[in-house]
Structure 1
Amino acid sequence: MTMQELLDEFDPLSVSSNSNQQPITDHPLNTSTRSNLISTNITKSDQAWRDAQQRSHSRQQALAQHLAQEPFRPSTTSLDFPHLPPPPSSSSPSSSSSSPLSKLEQEKLAAALNEDFDEFVSSSNSTDPNLPNLIKDLSIERRQFEEDFSKKQPIGRSGTSTPSCFDGPEGRPTPIKLLGLDEQSQAVMDDELAEGIRLHLPPRLKIPARWELLYSIDQHGTSLGTLYQRVGGASPKTNGCVVLVIRDERGDRFGAFVNEPLRPSKEYYGTGECFLWKAVNFGPDDFRIGVSVRTYAWTGVNDYMILSDQEMLSVGGGDGKFGLWIDSNLEKGISASCPAFGNEVLCSLKDDGSKNNNGKEEGSFEVLGLECWRIIV
Structure 2
Amino acid sequence: MNSRTALNSRMNKELGADNGLIGQFGVGFYSAFLVAEKIVVSTKSPKVDKQYVWEAEADSSSYVIKEETDPEKMLTRGTQITLFLREDDKYEFADPTRIQGLVKNYSQFVSFPIFTWQEKSRTVEVEEEESKEGEEATEGEKEKKKKTITQKYWDWELANETKPIWMRNPKEVENTEYNEFYKKTFNEFLDPLAHAHFTTEGEVEFRSVLYIPGMAPLSNEEIMNPKTKNIRLYVKRVFISDDFDGELFPRYLSFVKGVVDSNDLPLNVSREILQESRIVRIMRKRLVRKTFDMIQDIAETDDKADYKKFWESFGKFMKLGCIEDSGNQKRLAPLLRFHSSKNETELISLDQYVENMPESQNAIYYIATDSLQSAKTAPFLEKLVQKDIEVFYLIEPIDEVAIQNLQTYKEKVC
With normalisation by structure 1, the TM-score equals: 0.21
With normalisation by structure 2, the TM-score equals: 0.20
Structure label with greater radius of gyration: 1
Structure with the greater relative contact order (CA < 8 A, sep ≥ 6): 1 or 2? 1
Structure (1 or 2) with the greater strand fraction: 2
